[in-house]
Amino acid sequence: MIWKAWRQETIPILGMVLAWVGLFSGHLTILIAGLFFWGLAFLSSYLARRTLESISVSTRLGEQYAEIGETVPTEMVVQNPAPWPILDMQWKVELPQAVDPHGPGTILLTPGSARQTLAGTVWAAGRQRVRVQYGLIGHERGRWNIGPASLTFRDPLSWNELVREERRQYHLTIWPRRYGLPSAFWSQNPESGTIRGNPWDPPDPFRIIGTRPYHPGDPVRQIAPHASARMGRLMVKQLEPMSDRSVEVLLHPKTTEAHWQGIDRDLLEETISVAATVVEASVNRGLVTGLSSTGAISGHIRGYTLAAERRAHAGELLTALAWTQPSGTMDDDLPHVLSRLERRLADRATLVFVSPYWPQTLTEHLHRHVLRGLHVIYLAPGDRKRSLPPWLKDVWYFSHEEWSRA
């Protein structure tokens, strides 16, 4: 630190003092020495500004999404367009402790902090691009910030210490774990629940929901004779259009009786992993899969509902589960999430409820749908036994990575 202050501040002042002493005393040697030191200081400052303006640093992630334990290739690129070399550069990258870096550099940990620093040293010749490559292995579910990154280096004369920062942060999403579902999980086959045959087949003629006036081109077999006689004109049966095969996953990540009791992190991760298992299995079976949760994600702090899509991608739903975090208002948010979910619950659809707790609010909302044919599956992570409604027949427990059926 003393030598750094001497180089950056004292040498230019020394040069000016020597130049003035030589000028007033008439000693040419002292004057030349003063001008020499002052010129070196000016040149050093000029080269420092040029270097700081021209050098660039950037971070690149090989993937934005990864599984737990998967290595994500990452590199820090340092480009030196100047014709002079930059020696002994110290680079740093800020990382969360939820990921483990592997490769060059030294890991610096701050006690009590959730962040860590990966640091190292590199040299760059004139007009050279240097890549510092390392791998990141995530061991916790979540959305993690990678960066910022910085460089600490000196000008060619080593008189000025410079810092170049890349303040941009990159996001790495680590998907939750998934487990295999037992073969008997789909006790009621959701592929034959809300649809018969293929999506392009005609409506089910046994689902008559009303009548309407005849329009040219309507099939003759759909004419309603009694309604036509009563109305005095041709009426046709209005059939309920077939809905897609659908599975709705409802996640309620409540891990303690009251929010002030804190969060059971192990039970939380197990609960979200169970939900991720069902979501992935449903999408892989070609089912229209929707996801709702009372947990919070970015932009939705009071629960969220992702619309069921015909060709949903499991990665999009797994990303939402990776970002999901519990909140203290989940019990209050559950009725609002259920009200949004009820609008699209089709008869004979399958609803999978995942939570360590079965709330009474859910019993009140789902009973009438169950009477109309809704199939409800309850997945209960943890060991605690629950008080369940009598109409709930399909209950599974998940504990220590093993399934058991009630």
Return the sign of the alpha-carbon dihedral for residues 192, 196, 198, 204: negative
For residue 193, pLDDT over 50 is answered with: no
Q: Band of the pLDDT at 198, cuts 50, 70, 90?
A: very low
Could you tell me if 91 and 47 lie in one domain? no
Q: Of the candidates 245, 272, 248, which has an alpha carbon nearest to the alpha carbon of residue 353?
A: 248
| 377 is a domain residue | yes
Could you tell me if 60 and 143 lie in one domain? yes
Q: Which amino acid is at 358?
A: W
Could you tell me if 298 and 373 lie in one domain? yes
Could you tell me if 336 and 387 lie in one domain? yes
Could you tell me if 282 and 390 lie in one domain? yes
Q: What is the CATH number of the domain that holds 382?
A: 3.40.50
| 337 is a domain residue | yes
DSSP labels, 154-194 = E-TTS--EEEEEE---EEEEEPPP--PPPTTS-SS-GGGTS
Q: Residues 177-191: what's their mean pLDDT?
A: 78
For 193-298, strand residue ranges (E) read 208-213, 235-239, 246-251, 288-293
Q: Residues 303-312: what's their mean pLDDT?
A: 76
Could you tell me if 165 and 287 lie in one domain? no
pLDDT of residue 86: 86
| 132 is a domain residue | yes
| 200 is a domain residue | no
The DSSP output letter for 9 is I
The answer to whether the beta carbons of residues 105 and 75 sit under 8 Å apart is no
**Phi-psi domain of 77 (left: phi exceeds 0; alpha: psi -120 through 50; beta: other):** beta
Q: What is the CATH number of the domain that holds 101?
A: 2.60.40.10
Q: Band of the pLDDT at 173, cuts 50, 70, 90?
A: very high
Q: What is the mean pLDDT of the chain?
A: 84
The answer to whether the beta carbons of residues 264 and 338 sit under 8 Å apart is no
Q: Band of the pLDDT at 116, cuts 50, 70, 90?
A: very high
pLDDT of residue 309: 67
Q: Band of the pLDDT at 31, cuts 50, 70, 90?
A: confident
R_g of the chain, CA atoms, integer Å: 34
Could you tell me if 250 and 377 lie in one domain? yes
Could you tell me if 133 and 218 lie in one domain? no
Could you tell me if 84 and 117 lie in one domain? yes
Could you tell me if 398 and 254 lie in one domain? yes
Could you tell me if 108 and 247 lie in one domain? no
How far apart (Å, rounded) are the C-alpha atoms in residues 383 and 386? 9
For residue 206, pLDDT over 50 is answered with: no
pLDDT of residue 10: 66
For residue 212, pLDDT over 90 is answered with: no
How far apart (Å, rounded) are the C-alpha atoms in residues 103 and 73? 10
The answer to whether the beta carbons of residues 148 and 169 sit under 8 Å apart is yes
| 133 is a domain residue | yes
For residue 30, pLDDT over 60 is answered with: yes
Q: Band of the pLDDT at 11, cuts 50, 70, 90?
A: low
What does DSSP say about strands 402-405 and 394-399: parallel, antiparallel, or unpaired? antiparallel
Report the range out of 187-191, 207-211, 391-395 with the highest average pLDDT. Answer: 391-395
pLDDT of residue 267: 94
For residue 102, pLDDT over 80 is answered with: yes
| pLDDT tens for each residue of 51-79 | 888 888 889 999 999 999 999 999 999 99
pLDDT of residue 161: 81
pLDDT of residue 202: 47
For residue 164, pLDDT over 60 is answered with: yes
How far apart (Å, rounded) are the C-alpha atoms in residues 214 and 198? 26
pLDDT of residue 207: 58
| 149 is a domain residue | yes
Q: Band of the pLDDT at 357, cuts 50, 70, 90?
A: very high
Q: Is the pTM for the entire model greater than 0.85? A: no
Q: Angle at which helices 330-342 and 360-371 pack, to 10 degrees? A: 10
Could you tell me if 259 and 339 lie in one domain? yes
pLDDT of residue 195: 41
| 203 is a domain residue | no
| 26 is a domain residue | yes
For residue 388, pLDDT over 80 is answered with: yes
Domain count, the chain: 4
Domain end, chosen from 239, 261, 296, is at 239
Domain end, chosen from 36, 54, 72, is at 54
Q: Band of the pLDDT at 4, cuts 50, 70, 90?
A: very low
Structural domain containing residue 232: 208-239
